[in-house]
A and B are shown apart, each in its own frame.
Chain A
């Protein structure tokens, strides 16, 4: 069958990259980058996930249709996150009062 067989060498390189990424993530968590901490963590996680998808899951060598399916799943997840956050991040002070649980139990 005409399929591209990925060589173990490639797998080994990707594996090392993933190990490095894990190390960097842990190291970065202990540094104070302020607001950027979460951005860095998510960025590294996304790079690692991309490597797994492209090489371990053979997406790089898969038909365009498979690549479209992968892109769609990310896009739809992004729709859910972005449009829901568009509500929460644009609330004014008046709209975003979160009641303290304690008020429900006052005598």
Chain B
């Protein structure tokens, strides 16, 4: 019995999760337990924080147009980069793909009606909002100037900015992350449809399982660390304050124990998105499925063993530095495995240049650059030269923006038809992807050079000989901003005027594409029974994809 209802392809289905009539108005959204609606709640709030972080980034880049730095005072500049980091990392990057795409898709991908704990899912959104309010309060009442890393004793003793509410906000937000991870792990273990064995799961699900492991194991440590730093600030305790016998390096160990794996929370889901997009638009099964699945777990595990590479120059012992440097090289291996598998999937595939594919291909290229420069930084001798310079800034923006954000935006483009039932204008979307790619590289590539030449990060001023590169970077940032604004505009446009997508516009394999677009509240009228392998692009006559069949032209939003 098919789960795809017999709706004509040019009409949205009659009932779906967006117009489900179990109440009306705001209450049905604010009290929903439907994972799809909660995903959209998250979409709104992470976008708000993305804007906030983006505003700070804009101010930074405008300020850095001139060496004298005339836009803001030095103290305000410290606040700008701190608040940019806090907003982007804790309130945008970490929740984005898991809480928006993961929440929406995981139950559908495994054939379940919802996550294991739907009420806890809603609770985690509220916790996110409350944490966000504390941080916004901090931003509004004096800001934050300690760097997003809250190093002590600046953050716990000497800073005159609103550290305490910010630390409380991030502490609270951590529980949102923990509950999401808990929900995903239990769901993936206990809620899979009959026949959905571990090795038939989409790689997106494997990626989120690995991400959830990191959320569960790492977030509590940063929670207790920030709690201790906050208590130190409030009650003048001495854990991390040398004047009272405390140890700032201990803070750094505890902080980075989470914050390094946190970057894998940001990038693993994006890799999961790429693993879904590439086979779809290469019309080929993914190469090396079990290696990609295993490498996700390997990244999650090894990622916990490398944190002190952030501390090479702060005072740890030489032997520890050597150990962490060696382990940091190891963590690159599973990432490389993924890149090789994706490119092998592309080889002899039937590539089609749809917007999601452009984002996915962009991810691969930019992630390679970001990842390789990470290896430069893992090398002790080289790190001493480039630590705390723009080289590091460029490295992590290549991964977090060129990697994670492109994965997020690409994923939104891939699943937008499923989420809303509409297509967006394809030519415009392709152009926006290219604009994003160009703007991104123009912004951040000069920063590699600046860092190597010695421009320190977190400085409000720089020597005049660095101006040309800084101006290039700021110019690139304006193009990058356009690359983000365009999708916001046409996504909004598409919700009203976009062409109706139908259940499977690309077409793609995967259980989520067997439902209507938008899906009904319960996802599946009948619990599916899975008897096929994932990514079986060679063997889907129902999609016109049996071996030897010419690939169908994918749906065009602007025909």
Report which A residues bind B (CB closer than 8 A). 65, 72-73, 76, 79-80, 83-84, 86-88, 90-92, 95, 98-99, 101, 104-105
Contact = CB atoms under 8 A, between A and B. Distances in A.
B304 A79 contact: yes
Nearest to B306: A83
B319 A65 contact: no
A79 B323 CA distance: 13
Given A80-B257, A92-B317, A95-B317, A87 B189 contact: no
Contacts of B244: 101
B60 interface: no
Contact of A101 (B245, B249, B253): B245
A72 B308 CA distance: 21
Contacts of B254: 84
Residue of A76, A87, A91, A98 ringed by the most chain B CB atoms within 10 A:
A87
B475 interface: no
B365 interface: no
B301 to A, nearest CB: 9
Contacts of A95: 315, 317-318
B320 interface: yes
Contacts of A76: 217, 304
Contacts of A72: 217
Contacts of B324: 83
Contacts of B315: 95
B317 A104 contact: no
B321 to A, nearest CB: 8
Q: DSSP class of B's interface residues: helix, strand, loop or mixed?
A: helix
9 contacts: A83-B305, A84-B254, A84-B257, A86-B323, A87-B320, A95-B317, A98-B247, A104-B242, A105-B243
B162 to A, nearest CB: 25
A90 B320 contact: yes
* Complex A-B, nearest 9 residue pairs according to Cβ-Cβ distance, in ascending order: A87-B320, A90-B319, A91-B317, A104-B243, A90-B317, A87-B316, A84-B253, A76-B217, A86-B320
B305 A79 contact: yes
Interface in B311-357: 315-320, 323-324
Interface of B: 189, 217, 221, 242-245, 247, 249-250, 253-254, 257, 304-305, 307-308, 315-320, 323-324
Nearest to B253: A84
B308 A87 contact: yes
A19 B306 CA distance: 41
Given A76-B304, A86-B320, A101-B242, 4 more contacts: A84-B250, A92-B317, A104-B242, A105-B243
B186 to A, nearest CB: 11
Contacts of B253: 84, 87
A101 B243 contact: yes
A80 B221 contact: yes
Contacts of B189: 65
A95 to B, nearest CB: 6
Contact of B308 (A65, A73, A83): A83
Contacts of A86: 317, 319-320, 323
Nearest to B185: A69
A90 B316 CA distance: 9
A105 B242 CA distance: 12
Contacts of B304: 76, 79
Contacts of B320: 83, 86-87, 90
A84 to B, nearest CB: 5
A64 to B, nearest CB: 12
A1 B234 CA distance: 51
Nearest to B243: A104
B221 A83 contact: no
Nearest to A76: B217
A2 B552 CA distance: 51
Contacts of A99: 242
Contacts of A88: 317
Nearest to A96: B317
Nearest to A69: B185
A84 B257 CA distance: 9
A83 B323 contact: yes
A100 B55 CA distance: 44
Contacts of A92: 317-318
A98 B248 CA distance: 11
A79 to B, nearest CB: 6
Contacts of A79: 304-305
Nearest to A92: B317
A66 B253 CA distance: 29
Contacts of A87: 249, 253, 308, 316-317, 320
Contacts of B318: 90, 92, 95
Contacts of A104: 242-243
Nearest to A79: B304
A12 B141 CA distance: 58
A104 B304 CA distance: 36
A107 to B, nearest CB: 15
Nearest to B249: A87
Residue of B254, B304, B317, B323 ringed by the most chain A CB atoms within 10 A:
B317
B77 to A, nearest CB: 28
